[in-house]
Structure 1
Amino acid sequence: MRRRAPVTGGTTVPSSNEPTRVVASVIRRVLIARGIRDFGDGLVAVLLPAYLLALGFGAAEVGAVATLALLGSALMTLGVGVAGARLDPRLLLLFAAGLMTATGLGFAVAAGFAAIALVALLGTINPSAGSVSIFAPLEQALLTSASPDVGRTAVFARYSLVGALAAAMGALAAGAPQLLARAGLAEMEALRSAFLLYAGLGVACLLTYRAIPASPAAERRERHAPLGPSRGIVVKLAALFSVDSFAGGLAVQALLALWLFERFDLSLAQAGLFFFWSGVLSAFSFPVAAWLAGRIGLINTMVYTHIPSSLCLIAAVLAPTVEWALGLLLVRAALSQMDVPTRTSYVMAVVTPPERTAAASFTAVPRSLAAAAGPAIAGAIIAAGYTTAPFILCGVLKIAYDLALLWAFRHVKPSEER
């Protein structure tokens, strides 16, 4: 109920609760959309290698498609960083949701490698099942503007929690095409049906974003500006994040699924179940990360959880049995993503408010470009017979990144840690 003040000229003074309700609505809508699209990402990250193998392609082609997908995401994210100061973020999110729908339809009808590669480059398909996409900088800027400094990391933990749980459910659903095939549906039709579902999820995202209020032009100019005083910090962070992302690109979920298929002969349903539990562990690590960051700081949380996860990855690919390998990978899953909400919160905290969209974009673009190189290199290495080498290299590079990040930014504190 709105309170009505004494009226002058027929105007109504809104309740002081009105801005709070609008802010809460924005956060809720962003979280819902994140859950919808990450369900789709978790689904296709597991299905993509199976789909390409069913079409007759090998590890090199799987890596190439993953690289093109990440490269396309990087270019679109760069465009968002440039256009974010002039266009309403809501409008850009609606465009991204429409592109997601077109991507699902494109994969459902494409058969030749050239057509698949083109859809991967121009679309929103995400082989990593992480938030590497055109959506991320826009959503992050909206969440930051709607959150107080002391609650920012907790909001990003919720944001990551929703995404990881949804991606885990999507990975679990990756076994559905196999069930449909057993029920009598042709294998290729069963696989293509998953991409049609992905297209439908894009429509659901579009409807969710439509409910977010549009930002007035004056507010957009105030909140979204190109990089200025924070340029030096952003450049350093982007360079370090690029090392981490290149390493992560060597072990994206699609390639890890491929390795499990070939090393231990896991079925699609078994791989989907594993990635479901992997996603669940990652999801529940996010609130722990927010709690830990409040006690030891954002940078320390990023580094001291990341290094053990990299050691687990190296140990997993050297493990002699499937039980040891999956167990170590699950431990890795419980630790490896704790830097996600803390990293995002840190970037948003150490730049000025008008630079946040640009900072989110320009730290994401080099990460995406660096990650894009990884899958093609890893796919070629696996195809050459060195099946564990990309994952070991991933772990080593990530440990080097963590140590460099700790050294370079140990004295750069966000406002809540000063």
Structure 2
Amino acid sequence: MMDKSLLTRLLWARGLRAFADGYVSLLLPVYLMSLGMGPFEVGAIATATLLGSGALTLVVGLHAWRFHYRTLLLAASVLMAATGIGFAAIQDFWPLLVVAIVGTLNPSSGDVSVFLPLEHALLSRSVQDADRTAAFARYSLTGSLLAALGSLAAALPDHASSWLHTDKQFAMQMMFVLYGAIGMVCGLIYRTAPLRLESQLQTKPAPLHKSKRIVYTLAALFSLDSFGGGFVVQSLIALWLYQRFDLSMTVAGTIFFWTGLFSAFSYLVAVRFAKRFGLVNTMVFTHLPANIFLVLVPFMPTLGWAIALLCARSALSQMDVPTRSSYVMAIVSPDERAAAASVTAVPRSLASAVSPLFAGYMLAISAFGWPLVIAGTIKVIYDLLLLGMCRKVPPPEEQES
């Protein structure tokens, strides 16, 4: 059993990164357009961030067994700090595209970074099988609550511009500097992890071997879901709302604050559902109606109806996050968990990396919201495939019952 002090550090680091991701995902399209870029360029940079994060996450996950987890987490924190400084200092498209590829910037509301497989591997060792889903729910809840607060912080440049009479673009650049500073704080949190805990946890992780087939099957399924999700990363939903309803940053931040809260508390419900109905059933039968709501959003005649469906979707769509993470960690051996977390998490970046480019193009030629329709349709197909393929592989706690 892991000492609670390390678990607390993981939750603090997750929360801080989520806060930064929460405001960056909303500021990114506005900031890039203030630099003279259009929806297509915004989509291209979102694609670059996801592609780069996916590639780096895959490399780290497959080779994590060669290094101490803490060393890799410290290196990722330094990269996060450099990413924030890079976006604050550079204003041209092509250099920013390079920073997006090699950095840690996240245009979505969830964590798709290199931190993910490392923290999942550590978190899965902190609890017994029966409590694992609850631990992942707590981890996800922390991220969603802080991401929701981060969404409200996206309005700070607007307030600074009106109250302090500062240039709005400069205020947005300072928010990217803050993103970098948060990366350094995360590094300090990892740095202070007790050495004895590191030695206890470093029970020589290994590359995939006996779990390779099921992990690759899950990776293929998750890649389909992620491809659909790439059409509706938070930066692009925000861009669609800006275009369709001419929203201010303050209103957009408030909307995503509430959707974030709905997502956060859904994690607690997910634990109860998983215990009663099973992990796979919980993943599918909460995700499916959420995706139907997503398809319907562009057809709503008013902003109020669109917000209502987005909130309803948020209340259901993220229940599969802790259950999916718990399921992957459950069906592989402990020494394969870092590699399994990476191989199944990477599609969230790689498969979704192409989608924002198409979504940006669609939004450049039409404000209707075709990316939301396409995303929801693809995700419905994923849900049905997941149900058919994974019901036959229950986790240990469900086999025992």
Q: Distance in 2 between matches of 1:367 and 1:347?
A: 14
Structure 1: runs of 5+ lacking an equivalent? 1-19
Q: Distance in 2 between matches of 1:384 and 1:233?
A: 41
Q: Hey, what does 1:212 align to over in structure 2?
A: 193
Q: Distance in 2 between matches of 1:417 and 1:107?
A: 46
1:195, distance to aligned residue in structure 2 (A): 0.4
**What amino acid does structure 2 have at the position aligned with 1:96?**
A
2:144 to 145, 159, 164: 164
Q: Hey, what does 2:9 align to over in structure 1?
A: 29
Q: Distance in 2 between matches of 1:315 and 1:106?
A: 38
Q: Hey, what does 2:352 align to over in structure 1?
A: 371
Give a deviation string over 1:51-78, Cα, whole Å, max 9, x none: 0111111110110000000001011101
1:299 to 268, 273, 280: 280
Q: Hey, what does 1:6 align to over in structure 2?
A: none
Whether the 8 Å CA contact 2:54–2:350 is kept in 1: the answer is yes
Q: Hey, what does 2:312 align to over in structure 1?
A: 331
Query: Is 1:319–2:300 an aligned residue pair?
Result: yes
Percent identity for Structure 1 against Structure 2: 51
Query: Is 1:395–2:376 an aligned residue pair?
Result: yes
Give a deviation string over 1:319-348, Cα, whole Å, max 9, x none: 000000011101101111010000000000
Q: Distance in 2 between matches of 1:364 and 1:229?
A: 19
Q: Quick one: structure 1 residues 296 and 223, their matched pair in 2 at CA, closer, same or farther if it must change by over 3 Å?
A: farther
**What amino acid does structure 1 have at the position aligned with 2:372?**
F
TM-score scaled to structure 2, two decimals? Answer: 0.97
Q: Quick one: structure 1 residues 356 and 117, their matched pair in 2 at CA, closer, same or farther if it must change by over 3 Å?
A: same
TM-score scaled to structure 1, two decimals? Answer: 0.93
Number of equivalent positions: 397
**What amino acid does structure 2 have at the position aligned with 1:373?**
V
Q: Hey, what does 1:41 align to over in structure 2?
A: 21
Question: Which of the two has higher C-alpha Rg?
Answer: 1
1:384, distance to aligned residue in structure 2 (A): 2.4
Q: Distance in 1 between matches of 2:255 and 2:23?
A: 13
Q: Hey, what does 1:415 align to over in structure 2?
A: 396
Q: Distance in 1 between matches of 2:364 and 2:370?
A: 11
Query: Is 1:360–2:341 an aligned residue pair?
Result: yes
What is the RMSD computed on CA atoms of the aligned residues? Answer: 1.3
Give a deviation string over 1:266-314, Cα, whole Å, max 9, x none: 1000000100111011000001001110000000000000011111111
Q: Distance in 1 between matches of 2:139 and 2:117?
A: 13
Query: Is 1:147–2:127 an aligned residue pair?
Result: yes
Q: Hey, what does 2:234 align to over in structure 1?
A: 253
Structure 2: runs of 5+ lacking an equivalent? none
Whether the 8 Å CA contact 1:305–1:336 is kept in 2: the answer is yes
Q: Which moved more, 1:121-130 or 1:365-374?
A: 365-374
Matched position secondary structure for 1:84 = helix
1:219, distance to aligned residue in structure 2 (A): 5.9
1:223, distance to aligned residue in structure 2 (A): 4.3
Whether the 8 Å CA contact 1:137–1:361 is kept in 2: the answer is yes
1:218, distance to aligned residue in structure 2 (A): 9.1
1:81 to 56, 61, 67: 61
Q: Which aligned pairs between 1:102-141 and structure 2 lie closer than 5 A?
A: 102-141=82-121
